[in-house]
Chain A
Amino acid sequence: SDAIQTGSFKIDSHRSARSKRRRRDLSVAKMETAKPIGSPIPVAIYPTLSVFTLAIGLVITAFFFIYEATSSRKNRSLGMELASATVASVFLGFGSLFLLLASGVYV
C-alpha cells in the first residue's frame, strides 16, 4: 500500500439520505441476534507465531539430519528417525501456514 498516499481531498457526494435510512432498516433485526465470527487465533500474533514455530521446526530438522549423518548403519533406529521427522514436519507445516497468513496470502 505504499503506492497510495494518504491525504485530504474534497468531493461532493450525491447519495440520498433516504436510501441510506432504508438500508439500515432492512437488516437491523437480524443483526441484533448475530454475533461476529473472527479467526480462531488473533491475527496480530501470526508473524510471531510463524517465527517461533518455524525456528523450532528447523532446529528439529537439523537434529534429524545430524542424526542421519553421524549414525552408522547398524546403530540407526527407525523409531528415532520417524519421531523426529513427525515432530519436525508438524512444526514446519504450521510454521509455513502462519508464514503464508502473515504475508497476506489468506489461504
Chain B
Amino acid sequence: MKKNSSVVVDLLLLLLAITVLATPAFSDLVLSKVERRIDVTSQIARVTKTLKVVNSGSESVSEFTLTFPKFLGNNLAYLSVSHSEGKGKAKRSLANLSVKEAHPKGMPDSISFYSVSLPKPLSKGDTLTLEVVAAFTNVLQPFPEKITQRDIHLVMLQESAQYLSPYVVESQSLSIKLPNARIESYSKLENTKVQGSEIKYGPYKNLAQYSYAPIVVHFESKAAFAVAEKLVREIEVSHWGNVQVTEHYNLVHRGAQLKGEFSRLEYQDRPNPQGVSAFRHLLARLPPRAHSIYYRDDIGNISTSQMQSDSKKTELLIEPRFPLFGGWKTFFTIGYGLPLSDFLFASEGKRFLDISFGSPMIDLVTEKLIVQVVLPEGSKDISVTTPFAVKQSHEIKYSHLDIAGRPVVVLEKNNVVPDHNQKIQVYYKFSNINLLSEPLMLITGFFVLFITCIIYTRADFSISKSSAAYLAKLQWDEVLATLQEVQNIIQKCLAAHDKLEASLRDLSRTGDIQTCKAARKSTDSLLKDLSKELRPLLASLQSFPSASQISPKVEELVAKERELQEKLMAKHTTVVEGYEKKSSGRDIENRIASQQQKIIALRQEVDDLLEFIDEI
C-alpha cells in the first residue's frame, strides 16, 4: 500500500510539472510515428519502441533525448538504442548508439532524461528511425502484496498510454503483451482494444510534448519472480586447458509474499495442486562442451537436476530443495568447467578471455552481481572491455601452487537483467614459460626429500664417538666393505672361468687351436692378478675380531675357487691336446668326464658360499 501511494504522488507531481512547463529547451524534432510494445510475460517489463524522428526545424541536430517518468527511470536496468533502416522484413538494425544519463537544467525531478548521440547530424527535413529497448525491474508490483497458498499471483503495471517525450508526437500506438492468463482489470481510455492476451491503446494523433495518460493494468502473472539478491561468479582461467566457473546464488522470490501456512498436502494434491504462485524449476543455459557440472549447497549435493547438451549449448534444469513461495529464500552453488580454447584467444601480442558476463539462468534478475576473473600467476597488463558500465577493482587470490598469488579482476554491477548477458573481454599478457613454475615447485619439493635422505644416511648422529658400540659399528662397516670387494673379485674370477668355457665351445665349433691357447694364456694372467689383489683383503679381514665367523667361510670360498681354477685349466689343456692329436670327440668327452663332474660340484659350492656372503 505504501508503494502504491508514493507512485500516485509521483504521478500527480508529474502532471503538475507538465502543466508548469512552458516552452521546451529542446530542438525542433518531431516524432512522426511511435510504436511501443511492452512485454510483461516475465518478471521484467521489456519496452521496445520504434521512433521515426523528423527534423522539422532549421538546424541540424546531433542529440536525441529519451525521457521516462521517474518511477520507471529508477528501475531502468538496461537501455539500448540503435538506428535501423528499411521497412518491415528488410529492416536492419545498425550500430548501437551511446546513451548517457542527462540532467538538463530547469526540468522537474520527476522525469529521467537520457541523451542519445546520433551517428551523424540529422539535417533539416531528414528522417531517422530509432529502436529503443528498455528493460525495467520491480515495476510489476504484486497486488495484493500478501497472498495465501491458494491465491493466484496478480501484479499491476502502471504506464502511460501516451508516449512521454520532449518532442511533439504525430501518431503513436501502444500494445501491451500480457501472459496468457487472467486479466483482472485495465484502464479503459479511448481506442482501447483487447485481442487475446494483448491490450492495444491507440493510435493517438497529434499530441503535445510531455503528454501523459496514466494507465493501470492488473493481471495474473505465471512467471517465476526469481531474483538473485547476490550472485558471485568466479571465473578461474588455467592455461593447462580449463576455465572453471563457480557461481554462488542467493535466490529470493520477489513476488507477492506468502501469508499463512504452507501445506505440503495441498501443494501436492492431484488433480488440484494449490500453489501456482511458487516456482520450482530454474533453467540455466551454459556454453557447449561444459563438463564436470556440479550443483550443491552448504548441506551437500543437490540431486534434483537434469542436463541436456548438444553442440550449441548445454541446458541445466535445476530444482532447489523446496519450491519457492513469495518471500522465501534459498542459496546454492553451481560449478562447471569449460574448455580453454573456446574462450581464450590471442591477438596483437595479448591474450584475451571472451566470456559472458551475467548469470546463465534465463529470466533471472540479479540485484548485485560480482564477477571475479582469476587469471594465472604471472599475468600482466590486465584490462577489461565491457559493453556497459561496471565497477572494476583488483585483488589477489592464493590458490594451488602459487608463490605470489593470482591477480583477480573484480567487476560489480547492480540490477542485472538477462539482456546484460553479453560477452566481455579481459586482456592480459602471459608467456608460456611461467607455466613451468608449477612443475618446478613440485620437482623442488621431491628433490628436498631426496636430499634429506642423502644427508641422513651420510650424517653421523652418534652422541659418543668413543663408546664400544660406536667403534664396533665402524669396524663392521669396514668388514662389509672388504667383503664387497672380495665378492667383486670372485665375480671377476668366475667371469674369467666362463670365458674359458666359452673358448672351449668356440674350439669345438671352429677348430681354431691357436685362439684357444691365446685365450687360456690371457685368462691365466688375469686370474693371477686377481688372486694377488685378493691376498691383502683376506689379511685385513682376518685382522677384524668381529669378522671371526666370516673369515673362515671367506677363506673356504677362496680355496674352492682356486681348486676350480686348477681343474678348469687341466680340462682345457686336455681338450686342446685332444684336438691337436685329432682324436674323436667322444674320446675327449670320456677323458674329461670325471673332471667335468668335479667342476660342476665345485661351482655349485662356490655359488652357495657367495650367496651366504651376500646375505650378511
Q: Quick one: given A23-B423, A38-B340, A68-B457, are A89 and B346 in contact (CB under 8 Å)? A: no
Nearest CB of B to A3, in Å: 5
B-side contacts of A30, CB under 8 Å? 347, 425
B42 contacts A14, CB within 8 Å? yes
In the complex, the answer to whether A5 meets B306 with C-beta atoms within 8 Å is yes
Q: Which residues of B contact A86 (CB under 8 A)?
A: 447
A4, B346: Cβ atoms closer than 8 Å: no
A97 touches B93 (CB 8 A): no
Closest chain-A Cβ to B418's Cβ sits at a distance in Å of 6
Least Cβ–Cβ distance between B178 and chain A, in angstroms: 14
Partner among B340, B342, B450, B477 whose Cβ is within 8 Å of the Cβ of A64: B450
Q: Is B96 within 8 A of A106, CB to CB?
A: no
Please measure, in the bound complex, the distance between the C-alpha atom of A40 and the C-alpha atom of B436, giving whole angstroms.
11
Q: Which of A1-58 contact B (CB under 8 A)?
A: 1, 3-9, 11, 13-16, 18-19, 21-23, 25-27, 30-31, 33-41, 43
CB distance from B285 to the nearest CB of A (A): 8
B306 engages A7 (CB within 8 Å): yes
B340 touches A31 (CB 8 A): no
Query: Are A34 and B345 neighbours in the complex by a CB distance under 8 Å?
Result: yes
Instruction: Report Cα–Cα, A14/B363, bound state, in Å.
Output: 7
Q: Which of B427-465 contact A (CB under 8 A)?
A: 432, 435, 438-440, 442-447, 449-451, 453-454, 457-458
Stretch at the interface among B240-248, B541-549, B589-597: B240-248
Chain B 36-56, CB-CB to A under 8 Å as 1, else 0, gives 000101100010100000000
Give Cα A54 to B317, complex, Å: 40
Name B19-45 residues within 8 Å CB distance of A. Answer: 39, 41-42
Decide if B283 is an interface residue (CB 8 Å cutoff).
yes
Q: Does A66 contact B (CB under 8 A)?
A: no
A63 to B: closest C-beta gap in Å: 12
A–B complex contacts, Cβ < 8 Å, 20 sampled = A1-B292, A4-B293, A4-B295, A6-B309, A9-B308, A9-B317, A14-B41, A23-B423, A35-B346, A38-B344, A40-B435, A68-B457, A72-B481, A74-B481, A89-B444, A93-B444, A94-B442, A97-B438, A100-B400, A104-B337
- B422 engages A23 (CB within 8 Å): yes
In Å, the complex CA distance between A97 and B196 comes to 63
Tell me which residues across on chain B come within 8 A of A107, comparing CB atoms.
238, 240, 399-401, 438
* CB <8 Å contact, A82 and B481: no
Please measure, in the bound complex, the distance between the C-alpha atom of A101 and the C-alpha atom of B481, giving whole angstroms. Answer: 46
What A residues does B454 contact at CB under 8 A? 68, 78, 81-82, 85
How far in angstroms is the closest Cβ of chain A from B456?
A: 9
A97 touches B317 (CB 8 A): no
Which of the residues B291, B446, B477 comes within 8 Å of A88, measured between beta carbons? B446
A5 closest partner in B (C-beta)? B306
Hey, which chain A residues are within 8 Å of B435, CB to CB? 40
Q: How far is the CA of A89 from the CA of B447 in the complex (A)?
A: 5
B80 at the interface (CB under 8 A from A): yes
B295 lies within 8 A of A3 (CB):
yes
B contact residues vs A (CB 8 Å cutoff): 39, 41-42, 46, 48, 80, 82, 93, 95-96, 131, 133, 236, 238-242, 244, 281, 283, 291-295, 301-303, 305-309, 315-317, 337, 339-342, 344-347, 351-352, 354, 362-363, 387, 399-401, 418-419, 421-423, 425, 432, 435, 438-440, 442-447, 449-451, 453-454, 457-458, 477-478, 480-481, 484
CB distance from B66 to the nearest CB of A (A): 17
Minimum CB distance partner of A19 in chain B:
B419
A72 and B477 alpha carbons, distance in the complex (Å): 7
Contact present for B307 and A6 (CB under 8 Å): yes
Please report the total number of A residues contacting B with Cβ < 8 Å: 60
On A, residues with C-beta under 8 Å from B are 1, 3-9, 11, 13-16, 18-19, 21-23, 25-27, 30-31, 33-41, 43, 64-65, 68, 72-76, 78, 81-82, 85-86, 88-90, 92-94, 96-97, 100-101, 104-107
Q: Quick one: which of A4, A26, A31 has the most chain B CB within 10 A?
A: A4
Contacts of B421 in A (CB 8 A): 23
User: In the complex, what's the smallest C-beta–C-beta distance from A6 to chain B, in angstroms?
Assistant: 5
Decide: A1 and B93 in contact? CB cutoff 8 A. no
Residues of chain A within 8 A of B283, CB atoms compared: 11, 13
Q: A27-B423, A34-B352, A89-B446 are in contact. List 13 more A-B contacts (CB 8 A).
A: A3-B295, A4-B306, A4-B316, A5-B307, A19-B133, A19-B418, A64-B450, A78-B454, A85-B447, A86-B447, A89-B449, A100-B400, A107-B399
Knowing A4-B306, A34-B352, the reply to whether A15 touches B418 (Cβ < 8 A) is: yes
A85 and B450 within 8 A (CB): yes
Taking CB atoms, residues of chain A closer than 8 Å to B351 are 37
- Cα distance A91–B166 in the bound complex, in angstroms: 74
Chain B residues in 8 Å Cβ range of A4: 293-295, 305-307, 316
CA distance A57 to B241 in the complex (A): 24
B345→A22 contact, CB < 8 A: no
Known interface pairs A14-B42, A15-B362, A85-B454. Does A93 touch B133 (Cβ–Cβ under 8 Å)?
no
Q: A18-B48, A31-B345, A40-B432 are in contact. Are A26 and B387 (CB under 8 A)?
A: yes
Q: Contact between A18 and B387 (Cβ–Cβ < 8 Å)? A: no
Enumerate chain A residues within 8 angstroms of B309, measured Cβ to Cβ: 6
Partner of A38, one of B293, B307, B308, B341: B341
The minimal Cβ–Cβ distance linking B179 to chain A, given in whole angstroms, is 10
Give min CB distance, B408 to chain A, whole Å: 16
- Residue pair B443, A93 in contact (C-beta under 8 Å): yes
Closest chain-B Cβ to A69's Cβ sits at a distance in Å of 9
How far is A22 from B387 in the complex, measured between Cα atoms in Å?
11
Give the chain B neighbours of A101 by CB distance below 8 A.
240-241
Q: How far is the CB of B371 from chain A (nearest CB, A)?
A: 17
- On chain B, the residues within 8 Å of A27 by CB distance are 354, 423, 425
